[in-house]
Amino acid sequence: MGTHKEKLSILSQMIAFARVDHSIKQSEYDFLLQVAHTLGIGKDVFEGLLKEKSPKVRLKTQAERIVQFHRLILLMNIDKEQHRKEIDKLYNIGLKMGLPPAAISQVLEVMHRYPDNIVPPDVLINIFKAYYN
């Protein structure tokens, strides 16, 4: 999965998204730390990203962008709260990633049909596949 710079950019984007409501809750922090661990980023580097953003790196493949969008959905729902500001921000992030607007909207709509608003990966992939065929 990507270069070290891409991994730092992924985490930095997620941290910024978690701060949309001006704070990072413990559940969000724990989730972000787990993502950092999964990406092979140590806690000290992660803590540094909490203080200073990493430069943005555009993810190369559509698959990487869809995975990042899914991570952001999981992060938004980890605290079991959703705010209009978070949903709007997530939508705009998806657009900036180059994801199809209709697919983003559909994912944000169907997530409410699943426990804890967690869209299963296969459902998410099928939604995006429908817009690329």
Q: Which two tokens stand for residue 5?
A: 């710079």
Distance CA 22, CA 113 (A): 28
- What's this model's pTM, rounded to 2 decimal places? 0.89
Share of the chain above pLDDT 90, in %: 75
Does the structural domain 4-132 have CATH classification 1.10.3680?
Answer: yes
Q: How far is CA 126 from CA 63, 123, 133, in A?
A: 12, 5, 11
Quick one: pLDDT at residue 133? 64
Q: State the CB neighbour count (10 A cutoff) for residue 126.
A: 10
- Cβ burial of 64 (10 Å; 0-12, 13-18, 19+) is middle
Assess contact for 6 and 67: CB atoms under 8 A.
no
Convert the pLDDT of each residue in 42-95 to its tens digit.
999 999 999 988 888 989 899 999 999 999 999 999 987 788 899 999 999 999
Distance CA 37, CA 21 (A): 24
Quick one: pLDDT at residue 1? 58
